[in-house]
């Protein structure tokens, strides 16, 4: 596990350095930067060969290609989709912070982490190793919606995705890409003696572009949504948008109004209710009615 975390942190350092540079970063400058950062974390020095192995793993696992500028003798990140870079950084920053807050780290005395830690998060490191190594995995899986029935699964792991403090494994079971809650995985085994060919054409961003959170139910249509809030809630929604499709329509001292375009799933409705203090659903009408029914049922239960 230590080697896996070391490699993850090194990849984070590499991408952060290259993405913040407007020009290519000379090879020796990049090596020295990565070496300094890793030594500060208690790891050994880094050589050029290690960096080149990391470049290959970054491309294979996250689709982020680090190219060599032979004229200037340096490296740069080829043009990337913004959501891909954001997903990559969010994933690795979680591991970087987790490692930094270890019991022997001074950071734990002044950085206040969430008390909540997802159940069975010990599976994250071996799952990342399986994804990087293109190894199939087998595990027992808890079906919460079916009276906690436990079923056996053998899948080809492709991605890890975080949503609402939970981790999810995106993996192929047969020909279908499915989502598995990591907290419901039991007795995980990585089949290190086996390998599979990873389909590089899988566009994971398109799978979740029109949904909120992890559930992308294809039978639910993509709809135009308009929401109204007061100015105070508007400040929070400007700093942390509900969805990448969010557009500000009105922003005045008396009103904050936004439009969205996505599938109206249960996850999205629950998120709307979390800021219900000033929420008004302008459209569509069926979402307005759905929220109203939730309020009425809650009022009856608590009256």
Residue reference for tokens 């080697």: 3
Contact yes or no for 294/273 (Cβ under 8 A): yes
CA 195 to CA 58: how far, in whole Å?
Answer: 18
In the 8-state DSSP scheme, what is residue 245?
T
What span, in angstroms and rounded, lies between the C-alpha atoms of 146 and 117?
25
Q: Where are the beta strands (DSSP E) in 113-272?
A: 137-143, 149-163, 166-173, 176-181, 185-190, 222-229, 247-252, 255-263
Rounded CA gap, 302 and 98, in Å?
A: 39
CATH 1.10.10 maps onto the chain at: 2-109
CATH of domain 222-302: 3.30.70
> Which segments of the chain belong to CATH 2.30.30?
121-200
CATH of domain 2-109: 1.10.10
Q: Which residues contact 285 (CB under 8 A, 6 or more apart)?
A: none
Q: Among all chains, which residue has been given the structure tokens 């270890």?
A: 102
Residues of the chain with CATH 3.30.70: 222-302
Residues 6+ apart with CB under 8 A from 160: 91, 124, 127, 128, 131, 167, 168, 169, 170, 182
Backbone phi, psi, residue 283, to 5°: -160, 155
**How is residue 22 annotated by DSSP?**
S
Report pLDDT for 7.
80
DSSP assignment letter at 241: -
pTM attached to this predicted model: 0.59
List C-alpha distances in Å: 167 to 12, 91, 152, 175, 247.
Answer: 19, 10, 20, 22, 28
pLDDT in tens, the chain (303 residues): 456 667 877 887 888 788 767 678 898 889 998 888 888 777 877 888 888 888 888 887 777 788 888 777 788 888 766 666 666 666 555 555 555 544 444 545 555 555 555 555 678 878 888 888 899 999 999 988 788 889 999 999 998 887 777 888 999 999 888 889 888 999 999 999 999 998 878 777 777 788 887 776 778 899 999 999 999 999 999 998 999 899 999 999 999 999 999 999 888 999 999 888 999 999 999 999 999 999 999 999 998
Distance CA 108, CA 100 (A): 8
Ramachandran area for residue 73 (φ above 0: left; ψ -120 to 50: alpha; else beta): left
**Residues 182, 193: contact at Cβ < 8 Å?**
no
Residue 85: per-residue pLDDT: 62
The class of domain 121-200 in CATH terms is mainly beta
């Amino acid at each position: 596990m230590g080697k896996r975390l070391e490699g993850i942190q090194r990849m984070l350092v590499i991408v952060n350095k290259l993405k913040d540079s407007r020009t290519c970063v000379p090879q020796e400058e990049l090596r020295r930067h990565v070496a300094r950062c890793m030594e500060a974390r208690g790891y050994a020095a880094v050589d050029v060969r290690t960096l080149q192995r990391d470049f290959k793993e970054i491309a294979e696992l996250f689709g982020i290609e680090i190219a060599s500028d032979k004229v200037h003798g340096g490296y740069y990140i080829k043009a990337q989709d913004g959501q891909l870079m954001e997903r990559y950084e969010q994933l690795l920053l979680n591991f970087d912070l987790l490692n930094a807050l270890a019991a022997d780290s001074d950071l734990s005395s002044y950085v206040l982490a969430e008390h909540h830690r997802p159940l069975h998060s010990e599976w994250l490191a071996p799952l990342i190793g399986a994804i990087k190594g293109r190894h199939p995995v087998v595990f027992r899986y808890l079906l919460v919606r079916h009276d906690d029935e436990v079923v056996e699964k053998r899948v080809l792991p492709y991605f890890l995705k975080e949503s609402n403090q939970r981790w999810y494994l995106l993996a192929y079971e047969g020909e279908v890409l499915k989502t598995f809650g990591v907290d419901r995985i039991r007795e995980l085994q990585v089949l290190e003696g086996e390998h599979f060919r990873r389909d590089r054409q899988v566009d994971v961003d398109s799978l979740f572009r029109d949904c909120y959170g992890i559930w992308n139910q294809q039978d639910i249509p993509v709809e135009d949504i308009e929401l109204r809030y007061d100015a105070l809630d508007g400040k929070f929604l400007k700093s942390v948008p509900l969805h990448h499709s969010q557009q500000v329509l009105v922003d005045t001292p008396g009103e904050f109004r936004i439009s969205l375009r996505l599938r109206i799933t249960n996850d999205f409705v629950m998120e709307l209710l979390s800021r219900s203090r000033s929420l008004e659903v302008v459209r569509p009408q069926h979402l307005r009615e759905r929220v109203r029914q939730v309020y009425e049922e809650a009022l009856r239960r608590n009256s």
